Amino acid sequence: MKVLIIDDEKQLVSALKAIFAKNQISTDCAFDGEEGLEYIFTQLYDAIVLDVMLPKRNGFEVLKTMRKKGISTPVLLLSAKSETSDKIEGLEIGADDYLTKPFDSRELIARIKALTRRKGEFFGNDLSFGDLVLNLDNHKLFCCDKEVSLGSKEFQIMEMLMRNTERIISKDIIIEKVWGFDSDAEYNNVEVYLSFLRRKLSSLNSKVTIRPIRSVGYKLEVEND
């Protein structure tokens, strides 16, 4: 699991990093809203811990921006404010949970784990894009009346692409999420599995393609007739 922490209190961020590390959760850190958005737009996270009071862009602005971009990563808002109106505002604009400072580290970890468990529920058992439907239970990809089964890595890559259709997914992110952070997998491994997926999309006669973005990564697109 990988979590992004966005908070300008460096002492708190250091403590949070230690708490997450103790629970085998890796972290990236940003100290203002603009830097946080840069991380959000260029990386994939299982959850985001977001402070409300931030320099440059506050937490509410960061949250609104990422949701408008279609980024559905679960967000836990942190704030020193305990007013109900602030909690309501945060939840209404797209936060998944809210925790008031100071908090117990065990509660933080429990809430993060709960958010990541619920992450797939928003999509039900299927993900869809264009004429494709990916079943999350049986790892089958459907197009009209045709279907194909996906291998484990094929499924993980296609799920990642279909959950992030507004974003370009880099080879580094695919390797980290599919093979693991400490893996010795290379870019060629990614290209091999993408070629497998392209063949299966072709066998389904799907209008969806995996488009390479030169020197950046990949994203799904629907071909026009």
Written as tens digits, the pLDDT of the chain (225 aa) is 789 999 999 999 999 999 999 988 889 999 999 999 988 887 778 899 999 989 999 999 999 998 888 788 899 998 877 667 777 888 888 889 998 888 899 999 999 988 877 654 444 467 888 999 998 888 999 998 899 999 999 999 998 898 888 788 888 889 888 887 677 888 889 999 999 999 999 999 999 999 998 888 999 999 876
Are both 11 and 107 inside the same structural domain? Answer: yes
Query: Which of 83, 106, 121 lies at the terminal end of a domain, its last residue?
Result: 121
For residues 135 and 124, give the distance between their C-alpha atoms in angstroms, rounded to a whole number: 9
Q: What secondary structure letter does DSSP report for 35?
A: H
Give the three-class secondary structure for 142: strand
Are both 21 and 94 inside the same structural domain? Answer: yes
Are both 56 and 135 inside the same structural domain? Answer: no
**Predicted pLDDT of residue 121:** 42
**Pair 88, 49: CB distance under 8 Å:** no
**Predicted pLDDT of residue 123:** 42
Are both 7 and 98 inside the same structural domain? Answer: yes
**Predicted pLDDT of residue 11:** 93
Side chain identity, residue 85 = S
Query: Which of 71, 101, 121 lies at the terminal end of a domain, its last residue?
Result: 121
CATH of the domain at 91: 3.40.50.2300
Side chain identity, residue 139 = H
For residues 187 and 33, give the distance between their C-alpha atoms in angstroms, rounded to a whole number: 32
**Predicted pLDDT of residue 180:** 78
Give the three-class secondary structure for 148: strand
Dihedral over alpha carbons 90, 95, 98, 100 (to 10 degrees) = -50
Which single residue is written with the structure tokens 């459907």? 142
Structure-block tokens of residue 107: 């509660």
Q: Which residues contact 211 (CB under 8 A, 6 or more apart)?
A: 218, 219, 220, 221
**Predicted pLDDT of residue 122:** 41
Give the three-class secondary structure for 60: helix
Are both 114 and 7 inside the same structural domain? Answer: yes
The structural domain count of the chain equals: 2
Domain containing 142: what range? 124-222
Are both 203 and 147 inside the same structural domain? Answer: yes
**Predicted pLDDT of residue 183:** 76
CATH of the domain at 134: 1.10.10.10
- Smallest Cα–Cα separation from 189: which of 221, 147, 156? 156
Query: Which of 89, 121, 153 lies at the terminal end of a domain, its last residue?
Result: 121
